[in-house]
Amino acid sequence: MPIEFQIDDGVAVITINRPEARNAIDRETALAVEAAAQQVNTDPAIRCAVITGAGGNFCAGMDLKAFLRGEVVRLPQTGFAGMTQSDLQKPFIAAVEGYALAGGFEIMLACDMVVAGSTAKFGLTEVKRGLVANAGGLVRLPRQMPVKLAAEFVLTGEIYPVERLADAGLVNRVVEEGQALAEAIKLAQVIAANGPMAVAVSRRVLKESLEWSEAELFERQFEITAPVFASADAREGAAAFAEKRKPVWKGC
């Protein structure tokens, strides 16, 4: 199977399962990731998702052998690996060990958060193969780190240690080698325990407000967030706090 997919206590884990190829993406894998991401979107039992790789590496990008065979790994609606242009409607955390290169780096950029092992290595290496990082590297990276650093990553194609990315704000947590998945699941469980409507709306504002002018920030924010304060979950959250119990969310 090109991926493994598991759900436990509101957290889905997608594992790219091609360790013999450093989890490089061929068409079969892209289609499988696309289907898994769609299940995350539509299954109400899933509150948060983690994506990782098997065998000690996250993802080495596009399978160049598959590319030479003519396989298309950029899907029409969801982009590279069925992920980089997907409308991900729930929080995604990348759990990175080993290499996250080229398209693998761009899968990571599509996620909301990143947990990485201490020996993880990252790079947008496309230019070294005469290609370009058009699965998100060129457009997402300068929105997630200083532009001059993004230019270095994109134009040199060099591979960098995790400390460089953490210093630039691209990695949330650095853990001991081999512990990235466990830590990412712990982080996902914290998110999954929160009000699903509140998480979804907060995440929407975080993303969309980057494109808003300063003059419209609060007006547009209040328009989107107002339904949360009138929701059953808001009342449940307050009642659970007062009664010193865990809330039972309805998502509305």
Mean pLDDT, consecutive 10-residue segments, the chain of 252 residues?
Answer: 95 97 96 97 97 98 90 94 96 98 98 98 95 96 96 97 96 98 98 96 94 94 94 92 93 86
Q: Quick one: pLDDT at residue 251?
A: 87
Q: Quick one: pLDDT at residue 64?
A: 87
Question: In what helix (H) or strand (E) does residue 229 lie, and over which residues does it extend?
Answer: helix 217-229
For 92-119, the pLDDT digits (tens) are: 999 999 999 999 999 999 999 999 999 9
Q: Quick one: pLDDT at residue 67?
A: 84
Q: Could you give the residue numbers annotated as active site? A: 106, 126
Give the predicted TM-score (pTM) of the model: 0.95
Locate all alpha helices (DSSP H) within the chain, ordered by sequence. Answer: 27-42, 64-68, 103-109, 137-144, 147-156, 162-167, 180-192, 196-208, 217-229, 232-243
